[in-house]
């Protein structure tokens, strides 16, 4: 199958085929995600937390994200790769936003960008779309606003917050986004907006009624437990498998069981004798 595009993702939504999306931050993981037939990858700024060990996403930088995006993009011949624009890369000006979005395309080779645009960033969204860059919106919980929100909390539960989710989603569709991520919002609200929009909605904590589902891959694999959101599902404990494997390796090394002959290189006795003669 050829690579997903805005057109094939829209066709999936129109045909009521559920869109699958995961995050990835490196080449080997992205290759497995691609080979598993996942439709879209988000190179999320969650990278700052789950890869770099920071307490939140605010420390992700353009250079960090471009580097990770490049390694993910090189692994994907089928999965559509979306770069997450980090804090500070789209907040200042339309021109900055355009330049930073362009870096993801020219330096990393991604297929599109996403940013945590609010009503204040609609002109910037339009400008990125106008450049010809596929753009994903993001409503509900904006982890980059963790300070103002007072924590990573579900959004859209009261009338003011619900109105913000609905009106931002409509404005982002209007601005040209080809898809919108709904993070940590009530199922009923995500369902309502999904029916109102003409573009695919992707849920991460937005319930089962969206056009697609997204999870953070280290949550899926059990590789990150500093913060486990309510919407996360651990499918396998790779973290435990890794710890057990590293312990087994240490035991084998300490007991002289590794390396075996097949892991070692040979040389002729003559060469060794010559070396001993020369060096004593």
Answer yes or no: are the C-beta atoms of 57 and 144 closer than 8 Å. Answer: yes
Regarding 204 and contact with ligand KIV (CB under 6 A), the answer is yes
Regarding 181 and contact with ligand KIV (CB under 6 A), the answer is yes
The pair phi, psi for residue 103, each rounded to 5°, is -60, -40
Alpha helices in the chain (DSSP H): 6-14, 27-35, 47-50, 62-73, 94-103, 122-130, 146-149, 159-175, 187-196, 217-221, 238-254, 269-279
| Residue 95 known to be catalytic | no
CB of 215 to ligand KIV, least distance (A): 9
CB of 202 to ligand KIV, least distance (A): 8
CB of 115 to ligand KIV, least distance (A): 9
Regarding 23 and contact with ligand KIV (CB under 6 A), the answer is yes
Q: Between residue 216 and residue 275, which ones bind ligand KIV under the rule CB under 6 A?
A: 216
Answer yes or no: are the C-beta atoms of 165 and 175 closer than 8 Å. Answer: no
Neighbour count for residue 37 (Cβ, 10 Å):
10
Determine which residue in the list 45, 111, 191, 219 makes contact with ligand KIV, applying CB under 6 A.
45
Determine which residue in the list 20, 46, 173, 179 makes contact with ligand KIV, applying CB under 6 A.
46
Q: 201 - beta bridge partners?
A: 180
Nearer to ligand KIV, 25 or 124 (CB): 25
Determine which residue in the list 19, 44, 186, 200 makes contact with ligand KIV, applying CB under 6 A.
44
Regarding 6 and contact with ligand KIV (CB under 6 A), the answer is no
Catalytic annotation, pick one of 95, 183, 252, 273: 183
- Applying CB under 6 A, the span of 39-47, 98-106, 171-179, 252-260 interacting with ligand KIV comes to 39-47
3-state helix, strand, coil in the chain (%, to 5): 50, 15, 40
- Applying CB under 6 A, the span of 42-50, 168-176, 186-194, 238-246 interacting with ligand KIV comes to 42-50
On the 0-12 / 13-18 / 19+ scale of CB atoms within 10 A, 179 is: buried
* C-alpha span between 148 and 137 (Å, rounded): 20
Give the residue numbers marked as catalytic.
183
Interface ranges with ligand KIV (CB under 6 A): 23, 42, 44-46, 57, 84, 181, 183, 204, 216
């Amino acid at each position: 199958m050829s690579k997903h595009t805005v057109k094939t993702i829209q066709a999936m939504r129109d045909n009521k085929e559920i869109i699958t999306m995961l995050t990835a931050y490196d080449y080997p993981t992205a290759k497995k995600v691609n080979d598993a037939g996942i439709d879209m990858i988000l190179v999320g700024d969650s990278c700052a937390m789950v890869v770099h060990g920071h307490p939140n996403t605010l420390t992700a930088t353009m250079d960090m994200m471009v580097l990770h995006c490049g390694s993910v993009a090189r692994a994907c011949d089928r999965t559509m790769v979306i770069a997450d624009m980090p804090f500070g890369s789209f907040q200042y000006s339309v021109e900055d936003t355009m330049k930073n979005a362009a870096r993801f395309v020219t330096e990393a080779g991604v297929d599109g960008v996403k940013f945590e645009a609010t009503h204040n960033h609609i002109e910037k969204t339009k400008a990125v779309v106008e450049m010809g860059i596929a753009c994903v919106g993001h409503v509900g919980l904006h982890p980059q606003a963790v300070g103002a929100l007072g924590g990573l909390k579900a959004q859209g539960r009261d009338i003011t917050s619900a109105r913000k989710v609905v009106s931002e989603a409509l404005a982002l569709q209007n601005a040209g986004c080809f898809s919108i991520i709904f993070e940590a919002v009530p199922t009923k609200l995500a369902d309502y907006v999904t029916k109102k929009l003409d573009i695919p909605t992707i849920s991460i904590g937005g319930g089962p009624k969206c056009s697609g589902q997204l999870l953070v891959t280290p949550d899926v694999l059990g590789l990150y437990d500093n913060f486990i959101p309510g919407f996360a599902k651990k499918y396998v404990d790779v973290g435990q498998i890794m710890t057990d494997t590293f312990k087994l390796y240490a035991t084998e090394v300490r007991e002289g069981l590794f390396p075996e002959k097949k892991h070692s290189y040979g040389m002729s006795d003559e060469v060794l004798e010559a070396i001993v003669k020369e060096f004593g």
